[in-house]
């Protein structure tokens, strides 16, 4: 445990410029994973209930669930640059 540094200290296992890539991959995996999982659930229910529309409903639920997860995790919100990120400091008019 002594060889690990403070996460705010700067030494981490990831390169500094990969935040956008990681966020993009997380969004991609949430949405595609939701579509695949819920489409398979819909396909199974289609076969069980002898219908043909539940696979489409499952895909739509998967899209909605993936987008919900990405917004809940804050991956779709634009990031603000603060003083630590090289941006200008925010003004506090209080």
Q: At 42, is the pLDDT very low, low, confident or very high (cuts 50, 70, 90)? A: very high
Residue 59 has pLDDT above 80, yes or no: yes
What mean pLDDT, rounded, does the chain reach?
A: 80
Give the DSSP letter string of 20-49.
Answer: HHHHHHHHHHHHHHHHHHHHHHHHHHHHHH
Q: At 44, is the pLDDT very low, low, confident or very high (cuts 50, 70, 90)? A: very high
- Minimum mean pLDDT range among 12-16, 79-83, 84-88: 12-16
**Strand, helix or coil for residue 71:** helix
**76 and 70 Cβ atoms separated by less than 8 Å:** yes
């Amino acid at each position: 445990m002594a060889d690990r540094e403070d996460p705010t200290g700067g030494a981490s296992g990831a390169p500094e410029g990969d935040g956008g890539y990681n966020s993009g991959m997380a969004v991609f995996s949430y949405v595609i994973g939701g579509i695949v999982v819920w489409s398979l659930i819909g396909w199974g229910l289609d076969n069980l209930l002898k219908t043909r529309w539940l696979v489409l409903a499952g895909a739509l639920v998967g899209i909605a669930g993936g987008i919900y997860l990405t917004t809940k995790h804050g991956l779709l919100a634009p990031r603000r640059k603060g003083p630590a990120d090289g941006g200008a400091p925010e003004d506090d008019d209080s």
